[in-house]
Amino acid sequence: MKMNSELLNKNAAVNKSVKLSTKGVNLYYGNFQALRNITLDIPQCAITAVIGPSGCGKSSFLRIFNRMNDLITGARVEGQVELAGINIYDRSIDVVELRKRVGMVFQKPNPFPMSVFENVAFGPKRHGKNNVGELEDIIERSLHQAALWDEVKDKLGQSALSLSGGQQQRLCIARVLAVEPEVILMDEPCSALDPVATLKIEDLMRSLAENYTIVIVTHNMQQAARVSDTAAFLMMEEDRAGVLVEYGPTSELFTNPKDKRTEDYITGRFG
Amino acid sequence: MRAGVISKRQLSQRTAFSLLITATIIVILPVLAIVIQIIVSGADAISLEFLTEAPSQAGKAGGILPAIVGTFYLMLGTIIVALPLGVMAGIYLTEYARDNWFTRSINLAIVNLAGVPSIVYGLFGLGVFVLLFHFGMSLLSASLTLACQALAMTVTTSREAILAVPREYREGSLAVGATRWQTIRHLVLPQALPGIITGAVLAMSRAAGETAPILVVGAAFLLPGLPQSPFDQFMALPYHLYTVAAHIPGMARSTMWGVALVLLVVVLSFNVLATVIRLRARQRRYSS
């Protein structure tokens, strides 16, 4: 019943170098423990899916990588979280610089109430890029990468809020790409979108995975099976949240789960 | 259900509706009555001379220009002090302050600030600005006094306007590596601006209407000219209205109403200005 996560980690990372890794990570919100002793390696330039039932700590897990949990009063992380071998919870780490390297896309599309152009330019401008020509290049490149350019190239000056939900989410992806991150965290990026828009985002993720390390939280197991290379199954046991049950290549996790609980979950017996 | 028969439910529905609309009308009636009364009674007094000349014969003749200008100066002085301080405190309280006893006591103090009677602010201003700081009975002392009073409002409205900016925006900004201050400066504040402006203008309107606090820190009953520096005494519309109405025997009624009308127009025009600014900001936000 108890799985050997060390072994699975080795399997998961066998072909690619490790981009992100956690070592014995515990996360607390005050007295509540949201993650329990999580150790895993996330491969570079691949898509890692985090699946599990609601409230099991998926989003909390995702947010340890760009230290978004720092914003929550009483949140506390134990253990090591490494980005390319560097502990990101070290006191010498500049959180702002970290978040530039580790971008995030949220559950609900959250374009800023400004023009399409300004949305994408927001990050680069904050990092000191003010040259209009340079910004235009960045915006065109980012929107191309986010597969949105053709749809918005004639309305860069329009409000981002006038775009459709799927376009808004791709705009948010472009906004993240504009600061040239290494990792993109996605917190249920399609949960507010229709199936067509969802497929577009999934295609986009596949093409982005050639150059970026992507970690996606999803409650949609078909999505995890479709897009991800490796998958982690988090669970909530009785009153214990944030238990990593199984982690490994997606194909193995879905076709030949090593843990009974994983099998039960992916076959829809609970959750 | 037969036509012409009103069921019990419909009856209670109609009763509730009538009661509510009656209450609403009762609420706006006094406001309407006041405005109509002031316009009807005061319109006769309004003339070019009334608006552009200094008073003579203890306010019985001449105009009220010094009072109009004094009130504008007061509003300006108040907002120059109260707005930046209020916005900065609002930002600190919403974005930086941790929830501890210190923050809680600041919040409590701000709530109580709004409840302090205005004459108490006047006495405070007299003690601190006029006497301690030697600003004398002056426009400066009065502006600072009114600013203290206005702070309660500018802090509260700034804080509420900032809190109303969705958390998703802040997260989106932080997630692309913007600092907290950049997030505030480039995302939160522009969003909160219409709310902040509304609060500021309300604070200005209130400052324009205050009589008690300025009474003891520099408002003069009669001045031949306009204040030349912040250290001069000044006239103000509400105080002028108070004196011509209560202390000058044989004052023409239309003159009193005229002063009231001008005061009302000053305050209302500022409110309209605020509304226009807010609407334009909103339009720009959605159609840019």
Answer for the pair A157, A117: CB distance below 8 angstroms, yes or no: yes
CATH superfamily of B48-287: MetI-like (1.10.3720.10)
Element (H, E) at B55: strand B55-56
Mean pLDDT of chain B: 89
What is the 8-class DSSP label of residue A32?
Answer: E
Q: Residue range B144-173: average pLDDT?
A: 93
pLDDT band per the 50, 70, 90 thresholds, residue B3? low
Exposure of B91 by Cβ count < 10 A (0-12 exposed, 13-18 middle, 19+ buried)? buried
Tell me the backbone φ, ψ of residue A248, rounded to 5 degrees. 180, -175
Residue type, A41: D
What stretches of A14-132 adopt beta strand conformation (E)? Answer: 18-29, 32-43, 47-51, 75-83, 86-87, 102-105
Task: Please answer yes or no on whether A112 and B166 come within 8 Å at the CB atom.
Answer: no
Least confident of A228-237, A243-252, B264-273: B264-273
Residues of chain A in contact with residue B188, where contact means CB-CB under 8 angstroms, are: none
- Whether the per-residue pLDDT at B77 is higher than 90: the answer is yes
Tell me the pLDDT band of B2, cut-offs 50, 70 and 90: low
pLDDT of B273 over the 90 cut:
no
Calculate what percentage of chain B has a pLDDT beyond 90: 58
Q: How does residue B254 score in pLDDT terms, banded at 50, 70 and 90?
A: confident
Domain boundaries, chain A: 5-266
Residue A135 has phi, psi (to 5 degrees) of -60, -45
Superfamily of domain A5-266: P-loop containing nucleotide triphosphate hydrolases (3.40.50.300)
Instruction: Write the single-letter amino acid at B128.
Output: V
Predicted local distance difference test score (pLDDT) of residue B245? 86
pLDDT in tens, A4-41: 444 444 444 445 699 999 999 999 999 999 999 999 99
First to last CA, chain B: 54
* Predicted complex ipTM: 0.88
Q: pLDDT band for position B18 (50/70/90)? A: very high
CA distances (Å), origin B134, targets B70, B138, B228, B279: 21, 10, 18, 43
pTM comes to 0.82
Band of pLDDT at residue B279, cut at 50, 70 and 90: confident
Query: What DSSP letter does each residue of A161-188 carry, written as one string?
Result: GGS-HHHHHHHHHHHHHTT--SEEEEES
**Tens digit of each residue's pLDDT (9 = 90 or more) over A116-164:** 999 999 999 999 999 999 999 999 999 999 999 999 999 999 999 999 9
Q: For residue A138, list chain B residues with Cβ-Cβ distance below 8 A.
A: none
Q: CA torsion A214→A220→A224→A225, rounded to 10°?
A: -160
Are residues A24 and A78 in contact, defined by beta-carbon separation less than 8 angstroms? yes
Asked if residue A46 lies in contact with residue A182, where contact means CB atoms within 8 angstroms, the answer is no
Mean pLDDT of B185-206: 90
| Residue of chain A with shortest Cα separation from B181 | A126
Residue of B nearest to A159 (CA): B288
A157 CB within 8 Å of a chain B CB: yes
